[in-house]
Amino acid sequence: MGSNRAWPLVSFACAVLAAFSTPSLAGETLDRIKQSGQLLSPYPDIWPPYVIKGEDGELMGFDVEVLREIGRRLGVEVKYVTGKDGSIYTWEEQTTGQWNGNYYIVVNSMTPTAERAKHVAFPVTYYYALGVLAVHRDNTTIKKPSDASGKRIGALKSANYELYLRRKPFGIVDAPPVVYKIDNPIVVTYDHEEEAFEALAKGDGVELDGVVNYLPVVMALIKDGRPFRVIGQPLYRVPQSVAIMPGDPELADLLKKTVDEMHADGTLRTLSMKWFDFDLTEK
């Protein structure tokens, strides 16, 4: 009699263990995502062509579409979140792991540097970025990157642009060596991408002499009528990865599998061609 009573309990326990051993349900963060049906991500800076805000307020762009495709394949809705006061989480907060459970994933062109890997996990790379130097179009003194030596150069705080300008190692496995071409710049950092470009747009040398950012961003701004131009060839090329908090291998494995499939079936290449006009997804 006691044995018969135990069988339902044993069966239930086995079912629970089986459910949480599957990739789709295991892991604390992954469990919250599945239960809520939402994949929370920090509201991004407007950063064409990676993030664009339409007239209707809807976000679009390369990073936005990549994240939404990940969500679609996982069967959940992507939701961008802000702080309780409506503020946008800074890049420094995102790259140093100050997430506090407010969001679960960042797909916003994050470079997997050794320093960041101390705070966040990088399960998979989804494309490769080209860093360039941009100046105001009225500038006549900077004709090559080395001409910007000693000048005031703007960069997003804690971004790889700042690392480059300060000549700090990226610490990325299998990445090509970085050749530093700008000596002793006066590095001016900003909490958000647009702030650096707004400063440069005020005029040549008014607040800044240049900005380091990604090539597609600068080209999109120029196309939109902003007064910038690109100096020389790209300064460096770096992988860009999906970021999550450490300690959830099930979520990491699922994201790697999902993005690997997006590489294999050509989805990422298609999105790259759509937003950049060239393929940045090949290693």
CATH code, 271: 3.40.190.10
**What pLDDT, on a 0 to 100 scale, did the predictor assign at position 83?**
95
Q: Where are the alpha helices (DSSP H) in the chain?
A: 2-21, 28-36, 62-74, 91-95, 160-165, 193-201, 215-223, 249-264, 267-276
The parent domain of residue 164 ranges over 128-238
85 occurs within a structural domain: yes
157 occurs within a structural domain: yes
98 and 190 belong to one structural domain = no
pLDDT surpassing 90 at residue 140: yes
Total structural domains within the chain: 2
151 and 221 belong to one structural domain = yes
Band of the pLDDT at 1, cuts 50, 70, 90? very low
Whether the Cβ atoms of residue 159 and residue 275 lie closer than 8 Å to each other: no
- Convert the pLDDT of each residue in 142-172 to its tens digit: 999 999 999 999 999 999 999 999 999 998 9
**What pLDDT, on a 0 to 100 scale, did the predictor assign at position 27?**
65
281 occurs within a structural domain: no
The DSSP string of 83-151 is -TTSPPPPHHHHHTTTTTTS-S-EEEEE---TTGGGTSEEEEEEEEEEEEEEEETT--S-SSGGGGTTS
- Convert the pLDDT of each residue in 228-249 to its tens digit: 999 999 999 999 999 999 999 9
Band of the pLDDT at 13, cuts 50, 70, 90? very low
Global confidence as pTM: 0.84
More confident residue, 25 or 174: 174
18 occurs within a structural domain: no
16 occurs within a structural domain: no
12 occurs within a structural domain: no
**What's the DSSP call for residue 244?**
E
65 occurs within a structural domain: yes
pLDDT surpassing 50 at residue 11: no
20 occurs within a structural domain: no
- Convert the pLDDT of each residue in 43-79 to its tens digit: 999 999 999 999 999 999 999 999 999 999 999 999 9
Whether the Cβ atoms of residue 252 and residue 244 lie closer than 8 Å to each other: yes
103 and 63 belong to one structural domain = yes
pLDDT surpassing 80 at residue 25: no
- Convert the pLDDT of each residue in 77-94 to its tens digit: 999 999 999 999 999 999
107 and 132 belong to one structural domain = no
Measured CA to CA, the distance from residue 71 to residue 37 in angstroms comes to 10
- The mean-pLDDT minimum among 1-5, 71-75, 120-124 falls in 1-5
Band of the pLDDT at 219, cuts 50, 70, 90? very high
171 and 253 belong to one structural domain = no
Choose one of 208, 223, 238: the last residue of a domain.
Answer: 238
Helix, strand, or coil here: 80? strand
39 and 121 belong to one structural domain = yes
166 and 118 belong to one structural domain = no
